[in-house]
Amino acid sequence: MEIHTNIPIKNFTTMRLGGKARFMTDIFKTEDIAKIFQNAKAQNLPIFIMGGGSNLIARDEGYNGIILKIKIPGFEKMADDINSTTIKIGAGEDWDSVVKRTVDMSLSGIEAMSAIPGTIGAAPVQNIGAYGQEIADTLISLEAYDTENEEFVNLTHEDCNFSYRKSIFNSLDKGRYIITSITLKLSKNQPTPPFYDSLQKYLDENNIKIYTQQTIRDAVIKIRASKLPDPKIMANSGSFFKNAIAEKWQLDEIKNKYPDIPTYDMGDGKFKIPTGWLIEQAGFKGQLINGIRVYDKNALVLVNESATSYNDLEIAKNQIIRKIRDIFRVEIEQEPNEIQ
């Protein structure tokens, strides 16, 4: 295990912003986590966990601690029956590579989350999801290092307290657990309609009538490629804002002026509104703000075209949030995590 010093964080995040990390190291073995944590604690050094850096924003001041890049491997079949297969996966595995592998095994449950960048360990943190699926649908447990009690633990699905783009790992117990593996229970059944609206539309338009894990994966990859810029070519962190959640009274107000607003009924009087739609209606699509471009194919994405600092990004972000609040009386939130 080699520890590096004064490493530019921008080289490890897809938004390509941020100062230097005082220390950084790669973690390939679970036991190394306990060693690093105890050493860091003795030196009063904070620790930050990094996966693929695709859903992460770094500030200009950098990080005065140690960043652990989790690269723990593993893909093991734990159980198998007539209806499902249960698989344990190392936190350092590439998310999309795992999706491909499960699709090749004719397993359902995560195929609609194809082409999402990042690592397995990061998936439960914000309960990643796309096109009607989310990690909470299939995750039955995970293993992690509990920095509070300094021990490795097994957390159940219920322990994670999943909700829309939320879990204990980015809310109540943020920073407490270092995820080392997750266990998913995937179905052997073929995907069945109705599918998420935009996915169903693509399938209908392309006359796709036979639904398999592979046809769904292929469709999602093509949809995402048409809407999301490749971070290797254009610096971005994917969807920069979470979809807005509105109360019924808020939605009723908006519908008075925008009767065709797209919504999704979440129950309990709450409705999801596509934030990309809100941003587009507010006139931001394609705009350049302080070197940050609102992507012209998907207003939910902010592209770092010429920004050189976190401050540039913050100005653009806040300008968009304020205008959405002023126009629609809805508060939108940043989706990527921040190193702090």
Q: Which amino acids are annotated catalytic? A: 165, 239, 335
| Helix, strand, coil percent content, the chain, rounded in steps of 5 | 30, 30, 40
How buried is 43 (Cβ within 10 angstroms: 0-12 exposed, 13-18 middle, 19+ buried)? Answer: exposed
d(CA 181, CA 89) in angstroms, rounded, equals 5
From the centroid of its chain, how far is CA 265? 22
d(CA 169, CA 176) in angstroms, rounded, equals 7
Residues 6 or more apart in contact with residue 117 via CB below 8 angstroms: 14, 52, 54, 55, 95, 96, 231, 238
Q: Which residues of 123-159 are buried (b: 16+ CB within 10 A; e: fewer)?
A: bbbbbbbbbbbbbbbbbebbbbbebeeeeeeebebeb
- Name the residue with tokens 């109540």: 172
Q: How far is residue 164 from each of residues 20, 53, 212, 266, 270, measured CA to CA in Å?
A: 32, 21, 26, 10, 12
| Token output for 173 | 């117990």
